[in-house]
Structure 1
């Protein structure tokens, strides 16, 4: 067992991450999709509509091999699940779930990242959970880097798709409104935006496995169906990204990724005032295919953001992203105004179960910037450690007081100014700062 100080150092150590995307992968995924379609026909299951063509991503856009720290990946995962409501608790502590992987990854700048001894042991009992959750962290980290290269003068925000979609559609039987009855959805939306201009949205479907390359082929084929469930604009013109992270018990982890092209995804409708509260809409589910004749065509299952809803959807994405950030900082009162009733506002208004809450009452300075947020004390290899998640104080005050548009203008202007250090000497622990102003840090607890 490593001593705690070594674990903290390992979390800040950059390591190479293998990224796989080529024509052979695209062909293997197409074959896996064809095989699954055949199985569905034989079992008389419903047809799964997928993206018509998945293509490899050019190496220049991926920048492979990518160098990441485990702590940055865990920061990305923690931000992604802040609104997930995965646990029984109704508090704001969902994001601390990322900390269970503190010792799951290993590597250094001279090698490729892989599962550590503890990660391999955990995989024996919690394969689906570990691979799926770590897969989110790697997928969103790499997707952000990819989109930053393609849109250098824009900001990239990752938004949980279920939470965003619930503002317009009833996803489950518990939601009010016309039921979609369709269980396929992307896990996230990447919104690429610039203040005062139309943004572009990419559905992202991400999975993970401990089984091997053939499992990744099947996962990417399935992910194609999840990404296809949302159309923004014209039929089959919404671009998407799909990921499958392979975490073998022997050898380096590999992120397999493909994309679907298209001219859609642009939200160029009338601008909404983002500072205004968002209200639930009741959008009738279904995606309308183009008509081939005068005969009406039945809509396909899924979720269609039509042109008259572009401004509304951009509004929903921005406020959902803000809610995730205030939840990450542990502030109930700041989170509630950014969510609608169907998005789960009540989960932050009611009584919180024991040990599931977090409170925005911690303050620390990193690299000359004051951050406010919440902390968590736990034991790591018998030593007490402190984790801190928060947001730059000046930016958090904008969100706390409802100035979402001002917050977005400032993070856009400051996105290249944040420190890239992976270790904070004064704090004496690993640190990760994201362009949205969020931070995740951990250290041995002082006596």
Structure 2
């Protein structure tokens, strides 16, 4: 077999094959190293990998590959990050970026992350990795086109940008009028450094030498991977991929496409989900462990997953394992954070959407009718029982349980809190009290 190399925006497949006769696969995601290792290649190398949107390659599957006697190399991007993390266990790291992670000079994922085109367009990078900005600044100092102070300003400005918008054009636009940087931007087109590409090429040379020498160990004993339930879930999911009758994600989407209206509605919600997560990333939002625990508890309650075996069955049915489930929970927490941050400015857009879909006129007519009914109602009115109003609205009208936290629910509707929610429900009850319990929640007299 040929060695397997996972690469994308850092280095093109044809450039890899000029150095090494290898099977080149797209950027690595969770499960990909396990899939490759099952075929027993002479070596596996990770250059590029997914950081968000798709679950990242799991440390345990790399350890499992090494347990099988397969040397695993890492460099440049995701490979450098994982190699630094697993260096003590025998993963072979190559290059300056790997060394920087290993020595703690850099730590963030965004140092190597880039925005890139899809596979159909060759994974072309659309932004600049922070490690290349740092390497370019260092070369510019050596070339005497940047002073150390100007280099510090350059790297601080680049680091302040989200990795998807970190481009030399954006950096230069922010620093164009800074004294001492004009010479640097004139020098940049010929002087900039491709730090990730340089490290990837170094790794390929190291692999070629390694494979030619038939070396198979650096003296580090492979560690046995614990076969935890989460690991077993990943293995079961991957082993099932080749079984007849097991639907792949693409087949699931094909089933959805047979219902065009549902597909379009789901696609639009997915687009909004993607934009909301990008917004959360730009704002630097994050989900701490307490928030994730609260989101998980809410999800398990809503889906009747209180028992552990029920949760494991749900994960299996949805092609998830523990890590990808946590990714899903993190996304849910970030979506809620974005919803809370954006809600105050959404009313005008919601009204535009109602007009576009044709629902505005019907809701306007109902609001006017409700206002007239309440204004004309001059009979005695009992003080509404807040709890009974909540029960009437949620259980009778919506067919669902009263939320544990009415304040949070109210804010999700763009209201200030529980009091505004109660007032909204009370007005609805007075407009059509026959739907509720007129003896306990109030009456029109």
* TM-score, L = length of structure 1: 0.22
Please state which structure has a larger fraction of its residues in strand. Answer: 1
More relative contact order, 1 or 2 (CA 8 Å, 6+ apart): 1
